[in-house]
Chains A and B, each alone.
Chain A
Amino acid sequence: MTDTSLIRNFSIIAHIDHGKSTLSDRLIQLCGNVSLREMKEQMLDSMEIERERGITIKAQTVRLDYTHTDGKTYQLNLMDTPGHVDFAYEVSRSLAACEGAILVVDASQGVEAQTLANVYQALDSDLEILPVLNKVDLPAADEDRVKEQIEDVIGLDASDAIGVSAKTGLNVDAVLSAIVDRLPPPKEGDATKPLKAMLVDSWYDAYLGVIVLVRIIDGRLKRGQKIKMLGSGGLYQIERVGIFRPKQTIIEELGPGEIGFFTAAIKEVADTRVGDTITDEKNTTVQQLPGFKPAQPVVFCGLFPVDAADFEDLRDAMGRLRLNDASFSFEAESSAALGFGFRCGFLGLLHLEIITERLEREFNLDLITTAPSVVYNLHMTDGSVIELHNPADMPETVKIEHIEEPWIEATILVPDEYLGAVLKLCQDRRGRQKQLTYVGTRAMLQYELPLNEVVFDFYDRLKSVSRGYASFDYQIKGYEQNDLVKLTVLVNEEPVDALSMIVHRTRAESRGRAMCEKLKTLIRPHLFKIPIQAAIGGKVIARETISALRKDVIAKCYGGDITRKRKLLDKQKAGKKKMREFGKVEIPQEAFIAALKMDEN
C-alpha cells in the first residue's frame, strides 16, 4: 500500500492513429517493466480485432514504477480507455478512476473530432489535462499551429505542451516527469474506513474466470475478503488481488488511490456492472458512487444464420461472446422470411460491426444481418409507453399517440472544399446545424441528427463525399417526437418483414423508391411478373415490376451437350439452397443484405 501522494492515476486520450498505443508502449518501456519484444505486441491491446483496427475496446491498466528526479518512486497507473464513442459510458468510468489525462495530438494532423469528444469527457470529469504533441519528428509537424488549435478549439492552455515522438522515443521521459509534477495525486482516502471501490471494467479470462478492474477509494482489498456489489447485488469472496505490469502480478492488497484487479469466482461478466460500487459484504453505510448507469444498447439488428441448421451454433457463439461483453444483448426472434435468429442490441455501430465480424470470423458462421434500427418510444393512446426494437412489431397506427426517436449531437471536421457536400448530406438526413466554425483550414460542424439516419451508412457516405478526410464523432442527446411511419415492403403483394423499417414521413418516398429499385435488381425473373411495392399503411408510395421470364432454355442439346447441361442443372440445384421461398417468389439471401445497404443519391 502506497502513500496517496506518490500515486498518479491517469489516462491517455487521443484520436485514432495519433499514437496513443505507441506512447503507452514507450512509457511502459521506460519504466523498465517489459522487454522490447513484448513491447512489439502492444500488450495493452489484447484482442485481434482491436489490433487490426488499431483501436482499444477494453479498458485495461498498467502499473508503472517511476523514479523521479526528486529521488522518490512513484506509482503511475496508466488507464487505457476505449477510444470510440460507442463506449462512452465505459470511457467515463475509466476517467472517473483517474485524476489526470494526457491529451495526445498528432502534431501534423492537429485536433480531430474524436479528440474533442474525449477531451470534453475528460474535462467533464474534472481531470487535469496534460497536452502532448506527438510525431513532432515528421516534416509536416507544426507544433505552434497545433498548440494554438488546442487553445482555440478546446480552450486549454497548451503553452507547456510537450513535444514528443513516441515512435522514436524522443522526449518521452519529459512526459513521465510532467505526470508527476503536473498531474494531481488521488484525493486522500482513508485505509481504515470500510471498503469503497469503483468497478472500472471486467472481462473473462480463460484461466482465471472473470477479472474485475477496480479503483480503491477508501479501505483495503485483500484475499479472502467478503464483498458485495451495490448495483448488481452480487456477493463474492476475493480469491486473488493483483496488478498489471502489464503482465498479471499477484499482490497482497490494494489501498486507497490504487488501481488493480481481483478475481472472486464470478461466473459471468454479465454479473458485473461497469461503474458499480464495491464494499464489504456486511457494510450498510457506503452509498452507490455517482455516475453509475446500467448498460444501454442503442442500436439493434436482427442476426439470422444463412443455413437454418446453424441456429444452435449461432446461439452458442453469442453466449460465448457475451462472456466478455456484458453490453451486448440478444434474444431469440423469428421472421417469416429469414427463419429463426436473434434480435441483438449494441452500444453503437462499431460495436455491431465488431460483434458480427467476430461471429463470422471466430465462429465461422454465415450470417444475414437485417438493417440496423434504433429504439423508438411509442406513446400509446391508452397512456402507456412502449419501446419498439423491431419495426415489424409496430402496432397499428390508430393505437399510437405519437412516436419519439433518439437524436445525436455530432461533431464533424472536414476540409473546406468538401464542406458543401457534407452540409448537403447532413441536411438530407434531417440534420439541424448548431454551429459552424473553422479550425485552421478545416470546418468544424456541430450538427444534431436523428440516430436512425446515422445508422444507415451515414459514416460511409460522409467518408465518400469528403474523400476520406472528414472525421465524425457523436453523443446521444435524447428523444424527440417526430412524424415517423412504418415503411413496409411487399414482394408479389406479400409484406416482407425483414425489410420493414421506421422512417420519417418526408424520407419515406425516397427510401421506398430506392428499396424497390434495389430489389428489382436482386430478384431474378420468375414465370409471372412480380410487383415490388413500398407502402405506408395501406398506401403504396413506390413500385417497380419485374417482368416475367421470357426464355429459359438451352437451344442445342445433342450428344456431349447433355453432360454439360446436367452439370449446369446441378449447379442450379446448389444455388437453390441459398434461396428463400417467399410465397411464390424466390429471394436469394444476399438480396436481404444488399437491399438494406442501399446508397441513395
Chain B
Amino acid sequence: MDPGTFSGEKAAALAELGVTRASVGVQSLDDEQLQRCGRKHTAQEAKEAIRLLRSVGLENISADLLSGLPQQSEEQLVSDLHELVAWGVDHLSVYDLQYEPGTAFGRRWPVAGETGRPGEAAAAALYETTHWELEKLGFEHYEVSNYARFTQTLLQGPEGGAAGGVSSRSQHNQIYWHGAPYAAYGNGAASFVHSIRASRPRSLESYCRWVEAGGPLEGLELDTSQRDSRADALCETTMLRLRTMEGLTLQAEDGETERCLQAIFGALEPWQEAKLASASFADGSLATPYQYLHNPEEGPAAEQRGKRGQGEQMRAG
C-alpha cells in the first residue's frame, strides 16, 4: 500500500478483514529522491506506516524499493536496505526502474546515462549491490526482484525454501511464477483460472461499472494462449520459472515435448557459453539449477548476473 495515504484506522480495518501480510510502497528512504520522483510521502511516513501495521498485529511486512533512480547513489541504496531490514521488514522487492517511453519518467529522463539517469552499467551495478548486501543481511534472492529473509534452523520449514531453514518468501507472488491458479480483485487486476488469464477493466470507474453489472465475461480481457497451445504454455512456464532461484526442471512426457525441451536447452547455450547460466539436458529431462555465477575471466569487479542470464531472452517455440 501507499505510505502517503495510510493511517491507524486503515491499518485496523485491514487487520479486522483478516489481512495477514502487507506490502509497503517505500520506493526510497531519501526524501529528496522521493520528491524528485513525484512521490507524496516521506521516509518518516514510510517508517510510521510500518509501525502502524505492527501495532495492529500485522507482522508479515514487505517493502518495495527502486534501484536505478535518477541520481541515486550506491551509498543511499545500501543505507535504505539496512534501515528497512533494521525496522524488521522480512521481505524486499527491489525493482530496477524501467524508464518506459510515454511515461513521466520516460519523458523526463529519456536517455540512459544522461541528465542524471544511470547508464546501463551503473544500473546493473546497483542491482548487484542489492544482491550482495541483502545476502549479507541473511536474505535469499529467490526471484529476479524479490528477496526474503532466510533463517537457518535445524528443522524443515513449512513454507518452503532450502531445506533446513524458514523463509519469508511471498507465497502470493510465487503462485505467479509457478503457474498456479489465482483469483483477482480490483481494477486492472488479472486472474488465472483454468489456464485463462482474465484482466479486469483498467480504470476505477469502468471497474465499478463492471462489478455493478455483475462482472460479465465480456468485460474481461482474456488471454487463452496457455489453454489453447502446449507450446505457448511451455514458453510461459519457462519464462516464469527462469525468474526464480530454483530455475526450471522439466521432464518430457513425449517426443514433442522432448523436442521443445531440446530447443530450450539450445537457446540457453549462449548464456552457458558466457558462463551466466548452467543447464543440463539428459534423458528428456531439462534442469537449470540456480547459480549466481562469477566469471573470474572478467575480473573481480565484473561479477556476472546469473539471474539475468536465466532471464527473458527466450527463443523457444
Q: Which residues of A contact B (CB under 8 A)?
A: 526-528, 547-548, 550-560, 562-563, 565-566, 569, 572-573, 576, 584
Cα-based distance from A216 to B199 in the complex (angstroms): 81
Given A551-B96, A552-B312, A558 and B173 contact (CB-CB distance below 8 Å):
yes
Partner of B312, one of A526, A554, A558: A554
**When the two chains form their complex, are residues B239 and A555 in contact, meaning their CB atoms are under 8 A apart?**
no
* Any A CB within 8 A of the CB of B148: no
CB of B24, distance to nearest CB on chain A (Å):
16
Interface string of B103-137 (1 = CB under 8 A from A): 00000000000000000110110010000000000
A-B contact pairs, 26 of them (CB 8 A): A526-B270, A527-B270, A527-B276, A528-B274, A548-B274, A550-B121, A550-B124, A550-B305, A551-B120, A552-B311, A552-B312, A555-B97, A555-B145, A557-B144, A557-B176, A558-B173, A558-B176, A559-B192, A560-B197, A562-B176, A563-B190, A563-B223, A565-B312, A566-B239, A569-B239, A576-B315
Given A555-B98, A562-B240, A550 and B120 contact (CB-CB distance below 8 Å):
yes
Chain B residues near A551: list those with CB within 8 A. 96, 120, 123-124, 127, 305, 308
B residues 261-305 touching A (CB-CB < 8 Å): 270-271, 273-274, 276, 305
Chain A residues near B270: list those with CB within 8 A. 526-527, 584
Chain A residues near B240: list those with CB within 8 A. 557, 562
**When the two chains form their complex, are residues A560 and B190 in contact, meaning their CB atoms are under 8 A apart?**
yes
**When the two chains form their complex, are residues B96 and A555 in contact, meaning their CB atoms are under 8 A apart?**
yes
* Any A CB within 8 A of the CB of B95: yes
* A interface SS class: loop
Chain B residues near A584: list those with CB within 8 A. 270
Given A551-B120, A557-B240, A569-B314, A563 and B197 contact (CB-CB distance below 8 Å):
yes
Cα-based distance from A565 to B311 in the complex (angstroms): 12
Closest to A573 in B: B315
* Any A CB within 8 A of the CB of B188: yes
A-B contact count (CB 8 A): 88
Chain A residues near B184: list those with CB within 8 A. 559
Partner of A565, one of B192, B232, B239, B271: B239
**When the two chains form their complex, are residues B313 and A560 in contact, meaning their CB atoms are under 8 A apart?**
no
**When the two chains form their complex, are residues B312 and A559 in contact, meaning their CB atoms are under 8 A apart?**
no
Cα-based distance from A120 to B313 in the complex (angstroms): 63
Chain B residues near A573: list those with CB within 8 A. 315
**When the two chains form their complex, are residues B190 and A559 in contact, meaning their CB atoms are under 8 A apart?**
yes
CB of B74, distance to nearest CB on chain A (Å):
15
Given A562-B197, A563-B190, A569 and B96 contact (CB-CB distance below 8 Å):
no
* Any A CB within 8 A of the CB of B258: no
**When the two chains form their complex, are residues B95 and A555 in contact, meaning their CB atoms are under 8 A apart?**
yes
* Any A CB within 8 A of the CB of B7: no
Closest to A551 in B: B124
Chain B residues near A527: list those with CB within 8 A. 270-271, 273-274, 276, 309
Closest to B122 in A: A550
Chain B residues near A569: list those with CB within 8 A. 235, 239, 312, 314
* Any A CB within 8 A of the CB of B73: no
Partner of B98, one of A554, A559, A560, A562: A554
Closest to B191 in A: A559
Interface string of B190-210 (1 = CB under 8 A from A): 111000010100000000000
Chain A residues near B121: list those with CB within 8 A. 547, 550
* Any A CB within 8 A of the CB of B225: yes
Cα-based distance from A551 to B305 in the complex (angstroms): 8
Closest to B314 in A: A569
CB of B98, distance to nearest CB on chain A (Å):
6
* Any A CB within 8 A of the CB of B189: yes
**When the two chains form their complex, are residues A560 and B199 in contact, meaning their CB atoms are under 8 A apart?**
yes
CB of B100, distance to nearest CB on chain A (Å):
11
Q: Which residues of B contact A (CB under 8 A)?
A: 95-98, 120-121, 123-124, 127, 144-145, 173, 176-177, 182, 184, 188-192, 197, 199, 223, 225, 232, 235-236, 239-240, 243, 270-271, 273-274, 276, 305, 307-309, 311-315
CB of A576, distance to nearest CB on chain B (Å):
7
CB of A1, distance to nearest CB on chain B (Å):
75
Chain A residues near B97: list those with CB within 8 A. 555
Chain A residues near B189: list those with CB within 8 A. 559-560
CB of A556, distance to nearest CB on chain B (Å):
6
Cα-based distance from A474 to B176 in the complex (angstroms): 69
Chain A residues near B127: list those with CB within 8 A. 551
Cα-based distance from A595 to B17 in the complex (angstroms): 63
Identify the interface centre among B124, B305, B312: most chain A CB within 10 Å of its CB. Answer: B312
CB of A471, distance to nearest CB on chain B (Å):
41
Chain B residues near A559: list those with CB within 8 A. 176, 182, 184, 189-192, 197
Chain A residues near B223: list those with CB within 8 A. 563, 566
Cα-based distance from A560 to B184 in the complex (angstroms): 10
Chain B residues near A550: list those with CB within 8 A. 120-121, 123-124, 305
Closest to B184 in A: A559
Closest to B145 in A: A555
**When the two chains form their complex, are residues A553 and B308 in contact, meaning their CB atoms are under 8 A apart?**
yes
CB of A295, distance to nearest CB on chain B (Å):
48
Chain B residues near A572: list those with CB within 8 A. 313
Cα-based distance from A231 to B237 in the complex (angstroms): 72
CB of A420, distance to nearest CB on chain B (Å):
35
Cα-based distance from A551 to B312 in the complex (angstroms): 10
Given A553-B312, A554-B312, A560 and B124 contact (CB-CB distance below 8 Å):
no
Chain B residues near A547: list those with CB within 8 A. 121
Cα-based distance from A557 to B93 in the complex (angstroms): 12
Closest to A556 in B: B95
Chain B residues near A576: list those with CB within 8 A. 315
Chain B residues near A554: list those with CB within 8 A. 98, 312
Chain A residues near B314: list those with CB within 8 A. 569
Cα-based distance from A550 to B177 in the complex (angstroms): 24
CB of A413, distance to nearest CB on chain B (Å):
43
Chain A residues near B235: list those with CB within 8 A. 566, 569
Q: Knowing that A552-B312, A562-B190 touch, tell me 6 more A-B residue pairs with CB under 8 angstroms.
A: A550-B120, A551-B96, A551-B308, A557-B176, A562-B236, A562-B240
Closest 5 CB pairs of A and B: A553-B311, A550-B124, A560-B190, A559-B190, A527-B274
Chain A residues near B239: list those with CB within 8 A. 565-566, 569
Cα-based distance from A566 to B189 in the complex (angstroms): 17
Chain A residues near B232: list those with CB within 8 A. 566
CB of A182, distance to nearest CB on chain B (Å):
68
Cα-based distance from A232 to B225 in the complex (angstroms): 65
Chain B residues near A552: list those with CB within 8 A. 308, 311-313
Closest to A559 in B: B190
Closest to B96 in A: A555
**When the two chains form their complex, are residues B311 and A566 in contact, meaning their CB atoms are under 8 A apart?**
no
Cα-based distance from A558 to B197 in the complex (angstroms): 12
Cα-based distance from A553 to B188 in the complex (angstroms): 23
Partner of A555, one of B144, B173, B197: B144
Chain A residues near B305: list those with CB within 8 A. 550-551
CB of B2, distance to nearest CB on chain A (Å):
17
Closest to A557 in B: B243
Cα-based distance from A553 to B312 in the complex (angstroms): 6
Cα-based distance from A560 to B311 in the complex (angstroms): 18
**When the two chains form their complex, are residues A553 and B144 in contact, meaning their CB atoms are under 8 A apart?**
yes
